[in-house]
């Protein structure tokens, strides 16, 4: 079913990463399960125990590798450039007030997000229903998030933080013009 749907690039990376590690993990589990048929009472458990140190080093190395491979893709901490469009977003039970709701594609947008009541999260999808980004909207704070819409079109906004009765109806749209 996955192939008939559109998912984002990062989601594809996650799917591939997870599929690979699941196959490897399942192979290990099956190998261990099958090994019990051999019933080898002389298996060198001392040696297996000593190899745990090597596994420790491998685990740390794999985690460090993943850390360095991904940490530079963290999409946060960006400052708005001087030409950024500013969009004020106010979340409330159960809707969004977005000013202006029309922006230009290709020009960075700095979203300034506030909440009137509970926690919300501002999640934006493109016309292919691909989740582009999300950011929490916390009461008593102004969150800032910079994003550049590459293509003109209509973008859908959902609330991603559960906020009560009509949370799932808390929707809006953004128009990106050429």
Partner 1 sequence: MSDGIERARALTLRYLLASTVIFFAAGVLGLLLRTSQADLGRLHPNFFYAVMTAHGLGAFVGWAGFACMGLSLWVLASVGFPLRRLGSALAGAAFWLMLAGVAGILVTTLLLNFGGSWVFLYPLPFHPAGQWGDATTALFSASVLVVGLSIIAWCGCILHTVLSPALHAVRPTLPNQLGLALGFGYLAPRRFATNPTAVPYAVIPLTVIGIDMIIATLPLAVLLVIMIIESAAPGVTVDPLLAKNILWFFGHPVVYLLLFPAAAVYYLLIPRYAKRPLVAAKVVAIAWAIAVVANVLVWAHHVYLDYPSGTQSGINTAMQPITFALTIPSALSLYSLFMTVYRSRFEWTAASTGLFLGLVGWLLAGLSGVVNATIAFDVVVHNTLWIVGHFHHMALLNIGLAIFGATYAFLPELTGKALYSDRLGKWHIWLTFLFGTAAFALWLVQGLEGAPRRFAVLPERYDTLTQATVPLLIIVALAQLLFAWNIVQTLRGKGGRYTQAQAEPAGAPAA
Q: Determine, following the binding rule CB under 8 A, whether residue 177 of this chain makes contact with partner 1.
A: no
Q: Determine, following the binding rule CB under 8 A, whether residue 53 of this chain makes contact with partner 1.
A: yes
- Please report how close the Cβ of residue 178 comes to partner 1 at its closest, in angstroms: 25
Integer Cα distance of 126 and 118 in angstroms: 26
- CB distance 141 to 165 below 8 Å: no
Give the H/E segment covering residue 109. strand 109-115
CB of 49 or CB of 83, closer to partner 1? 49
Integer Cα distance of 86 and 137 in angstroms: 16
- CB distance 117 to 166 below 8 Å: no
Q: Determine, following the binding rule CB under 8 A, whether residue 25 of this chain makes contact with partner 1.
A: yes
Give the x-and-dash track for 95-134 against partner 1 (CB under 8 A). Answer: ----------------------xxx-x-x-x---xxx-xx
Residue numbers 133-162 binding partner 1 by CB under 8 A: 133-136, 138-141, 143-146, 158, 160-162
């Amino acid at each position: 079913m996955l192939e008939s749907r559109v998912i984002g690039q990062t989601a594809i990376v996650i799917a591939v990463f997870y599929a690979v590690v699941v196959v490897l993990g399942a192979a290990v589990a099956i190998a261990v399960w099958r090994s019990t048929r051999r019933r080898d009472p002389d298996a060198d458990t001392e040696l297996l125990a000593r190899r745990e140190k090597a596994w420790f080093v491998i685990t740390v190395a794999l985690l460090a590798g993943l850390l360095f491979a991904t940490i530079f893709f963290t999409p946060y901490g960006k400052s708005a450039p001087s030409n950024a469009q500013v969009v004020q977003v106010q979340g409330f039970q159960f809707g969004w007030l977005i000013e202006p709701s029309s922006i230009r594609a290709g020009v960075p947008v700095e979203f300034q997000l506030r909440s009137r009541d509970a926690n919300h999260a501002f999640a934006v999808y493109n016309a292919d229903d691909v989740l582009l980004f999300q950011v929490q909207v916390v009461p008593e704070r102004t969150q800032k998030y910079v994003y550049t819409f590459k293509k003109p079109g209509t973008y859908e906004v959902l609330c991603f933080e559960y906020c009560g009765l009509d949370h799932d109806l808390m929707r809006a749209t953004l128009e990106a013009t050429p």
